Amino acid sequence: MNIAQRLTETFREVFNDPTLVVTPETTAKDVDGWDSFSHVNLIVAVELSFGIKFSQRELLTFRKVGDLLRSIQRNLDQA
């Protein structure tokens, strides 16, 4: 499974929606229930799922799913 697929799985678990589809352009506004409270749950779930840890700086700059994907890739490459 590639990164994008694993990420979609994680999203589906966190937001309890098996039909959810995310693209690099998806933002918080596009997903039902993605607010500043569930955002943190999502981040933790992603970190656990990929075995990485985002830096504070990165997390503050995420604006859409594409940013998340790039950051995951970067973290995996560094590991």
Span of 4-12, 13-21, 54-62, 69-77 interacting with another protein by CB under 8 A: 54-62
Position 51 contacts another protein (CB under 8 A): no
Return the structure tokens found at 75.
């973290």
What is the signed CA dihedral for 75, 11, 38, 62, rounded to 10 degrees?
40
| Contacting residue, 2, 16, 61, 78, with another protein by CB under 8 A | 61
Residues that bind another protein (CB under 8 A): 36-37, 39-41, 43-44, 56-57, 59-61
